[in-house]
Every structure is written in C-alpha cells, then in structure tokens.
Chain A
Amino acid sequence: MIRVKAISADCGTYVRWYYNGYQYWNFTPAKKTIITEGESFAISAKQQLTTNSKGLNYTEITGLKTLLSSIDAQLYVDGSWVNINVLPKSQIVFNTQVNGYEMDLIFECSL
C-alpha cells in the first residue's frame, strides 16, 4: 500500500517521467521563451520553459532528482503529452535552510 498526497493544481507545468516506474510532478507556471536558430534558411525554433518547484522536503527533492536522470520525460499540454528535454546543466537544486529545498530547471520541446 502507498499513501498519496492530494493537492490542488489550478495551474502549473505538469510533467511525467520514467524512472523505475512513472513519476509525476507539477512545477510552477513556466516562463516561455522561443529560441530560433538559423539565418536565411532552415530556421528552426524550439520552446523553452523555465520553471521551478519550491518548499520541498528531503524525500520530495530525492524523488524529483530522478527527473534529471530520466531519458523519457513528457509535458502535459492541452490534454495530451509532448516529449521534452530537460536541458543539461539547467537544473539547480539547493537547500534554503528555512523553506526546504528548491529546484530550478528548463524544459525544451518542439513548438
């Protein structure tokens, strides 16, 4: 048996990833940036989502860290899932000593 905490989620950046089973987490609403590459032709654009999660306890941050090792992560958008990359070196995990752990990170996905 496992106990699951139920909390409200009116908004946010909902992500799932595979690491020894599927894991789910709702990060804060993301700041969206469009990254455009290329000059006169073959231009490609990607969406970057900068988000975070704050006030985490030790067991939560331990579970969340597995996202950084997953190669199969998806973002929930308008009722369906899209594949995302967690940008390397975008993840910052730190302990505020007062309000618990925080994690900042950037997701990248196709437009």
Chain B
Amino acid sequence: MDIEIEIVSTPIDGTCKWVTPESPVLFGLQRKDISNDDSSPAPDWYIDSTQDNGGYLEFTLSAIDSPFSEGDSLMLHDDTTGEELYGVITEVSGADFLTDIVWVAGTDIDYINNFTLFPGYYFEALLTINGVVNALTARAYPNSAGYADMNIAGVLQTTILPGKADETLNINPEVNKSGRFTVSFRPCYYGSDESYVEEGGYWSYASFVRNSIQGGNLLEYEGIFIDEDPPDDFNYVYPICNQFEKPVFFKGLPFDLSFLLNRVTNDQTFTVTIAIYDATNTLIDTISYEVEGSSTNSSRLCSAVISPDDIPDEAKYFDVEITSVVSV
C-alpha cells in the first residue's frame, strides 16, 4: 500500500528558499498510513466513515482487502478534538474495523497509523545536491502522533569545504560554500522498500552562521526586487554579505564582496557598479562591469571582485551596488 507522508512545514520564509546548513534545516513531516483524503490520485484505501458500534469506535475503509487486520495496534487521530486515540482492532468485517476504543459522539477520524503493520517506522530524506544524488541520507523518527522534524542540515554541511573559488572572473561562484538541492522523502520500516517522493522545487544553501532568533532562512540576504524600469523588466539589487558595517579596502591588495545570487537564466545580466569618491567627497570615477548569468553562478554565493587596479590612490571610499535585470 502507498503510505502517505504529508509535508506540514518547510524552512521557506516568504518566497525565500535560501537556507544555511549551520542552522537546523527542518521539514515537518506527518505520517498518515491511511487518511480520509480521497482526492486524486485516489489512494488504494481511505477512511470512508467513523461510527459507533456497540459503544466502541468503528471505522470503515473505502475498499476491502486492506492490509489492516485483527489485533493490529493503532493510533487514530480525531479531527474534531485533535486528540490521538490508541487502541487495537478487535474485529474485521469486510471494510469495517471495530476497535476497543470507547465511542465518543462527534469523533471524526482523519488519519490512522498502524504500529503493527509498519514496525520501526521512520522517515528518510534523500538530497540531490548540485545535480548529484548524495550518498548520505537523513533520518527522523516520528512522535506518537506521527509527526517529526526532518533536519537535513547535517547532509548539507558535508558539502561545505574550506578553500575559495577560482578568482579569475569578475564574479566568482563560491562552490565550496554554497549550492542548490532538491529533497525527497520516503517512509521506512522493517522490510520496507518504499520509493522516494520529491518534495518539489529547488532550494539553495550557503554557509552562514545564524542565531536561533534569526533562524536558518537567509531572506535578509536574498536579492530584493526594486522596481520595473523599463516596465517589462524585473530589477533586483543584491545585499552584500559582509560582517563589517564599512568594509575596508586596502589599496593594492585583492578584495571582493560576497552576495547571494538567485537561480538565474542565461539572459540575466548582473552589473557591479563602483562609485569612487575622494577625501573631499567628490565623485572621481564610476566603474561598472557586467556579467551574464549562467548555470555555474546560479544559486550560489558569489564574490564580486574589486580589482586593486580600479581604485586610484586618491580614493577615500567607494560605494558598491550589485544589480540585475531580467527581461520578460
């Protein structure tokens, strides 16, 4: 039988799907062996009704020949009260299953988990990171209600490596510090061989240290939509990831600024604009360079190189802005 896993929550914040493996990356999973959801594609069995039978709770499935049998130990979730009801199947008659749970008027079971049929149950997550299926999987064991927080941060952390990216380009993707991934889940129990089901959609990750209040989502570093100019274009400006309120450029020495680049298309162009000022606060030069989006710098933490040759001796400070335009 197909065992349903419902993804109750994800680490998304707004529309931002950037996460950091330095904080928990949690997907809330709910085990539902059989539920009352009969929406398409219809499962082999779903809960058709819940009723009183001689003072005990009885449920009826949509079809006969389910793997549930007499003596099975169950957890039944009451949608009316939100309570978990524990009991044993005492009698099977066609698609009707009588339990030893005392009937309470108004009870409406929305899902059932069978502890006897699926012993040693846990969730398993498989990640495809930068297009490669990771050999490591993450596990999470559900609580009595069938819920578990699946933390995949540990698997993502295995891809964080020391060392900086190639520094030959104007914008260099930091492949050792960031990337993108998809995740799929499956239920596991003794003797199981279930298939993974895709969570759906791409996620991006970058190595960032965050505290518990900030959380693991990197919304504040994601590119910000600013305006439409011309109206058919989408313009974004990218926050700089720097720990200094005013970073210091030491003249003549290599320097770059990091930023998170969203998933981009090949026709997306990035512009790094550097406005240079002297000690009298006079604009002495403006430099800009453009970089085309590609699959190599897409969904990566990137470093925008500020060449020492571009900053003259009389410069006192300079302003850096990184923007992109997507034509639609």
Q: Using a CB–CB distance below 8 Å, which chain A residues touch chain B?
A: 1-9, 12, 14, 16, 18-26, 59-60, 62-63, 66, 69, 71-72, 74, 76, 81, 83
Q: Closest residue of chain A to B259, judged by CB? A: A21
Q: Using a CB–CB distance below 8 Å, which chain B residues touch chain A?
A: 162-164, 174, 177, 207-209, 237, 240-259, 276, 301, 303, 306, 311, 313, 315-321
Find out whether the CB atom of A5 lies under 8 angstroms from the CB atom of B247.
yes
Q: CB within 8 A of A26: which of B177, B250, B256? A: B250
Find out whether the CB atom of B251 lies under 8 angstroms from the CB atom of A1.
no
Find out whether the CB atom of B256 lies under 8 angstroms from the CB atom of A22.
yes
Q: Closest residue of chain B to A59, judged by CB? A: B245
Find out whether the CB atom of A2 lies under 8 angstroms from the CB atom of B247.
yes
Q: CB within 8 A of A21: which of B162, B301, B315, B316? A: B301
A–B pairs, 30, beta carbons within 8 Å: A1-B237, A1-B320, A2-B246, A3-B319, A4-B318, A5-B248, A6-B248, A6-B318, A7-B250, A7-B251, A14-B250, A14-B253, A19-B209, A20-B209, A20-B243, A20-B258, A21-B242, A21-B243, A21-B259, A21-B301, A25-B248, A26-B253, A59-B245, A63-B242, A63-B245, A66-B243, A71-B162, A72-B163, A76-B253, A76-B254
Q: Min CB distance, A101 to chain B, in Å?
A: 13
Most buried by B among A5, A9, A12, A20: A20
Query: Which chain B residues border A14 with CB–CB below 8 Å?
Result: 250, 253
Q: Give Cα A19–Cα B177 distance, bound, in whole angstroms.
A: 10
Query: Which chain A residues border B303 with CB–CB below 8 Å?
Result: 22
Can you name 11 extra interface pairs (CB under 8 A) apart from A3-B246, A19-B243? A2-B321, A5-B316, A8-B250, A9-B252, A14-B250, A19-B209, A20-B208, A20-B242, A21-B257, A21-B259, A59-B244
Q: Give Cα A42–Cα B250 distance, bound, in whole angstroms.
A: 40
Most buried by B among A3, A21, A23: A21
Find out whether the CB atom of B253 lies under 8 angstroms from the CB atom of A2.
no
Find out whether the CB atom of B240 lies under 8 angstroms from the CB atom of A2.
yes
Q: Min CB distance, A50 to chain B, in Å?
A: 20
Query: Which chain A residues border B163 with CB–CB below 8 Å?
Result: 72
Q: Give Cα A72–Cα B256 distance, bound, in whole angstroms.
A: 16
Q: Closest residue of chain B to A71, judged by CB? A: B162
Query: Which chain A residues border B259 with CB–CB below 8 Å?
Result: 21
Query: Which chain B residues border A1 with CB–CB below 8 Å?
Result: 237, 319-321
Given A24-B255, A62-B243: A4 and B208 interface contact (C-beta under 8 Å): no
Q: CB within 8 A of A6: which of B207, B208, B249, B321? A: B249
Find out whether the CB atom of B250 lies under 8 angstroms from the CB atom of A9.
yes
Q: CB within 8 A of B253: which of A3, A9, A62, A72? A: A9
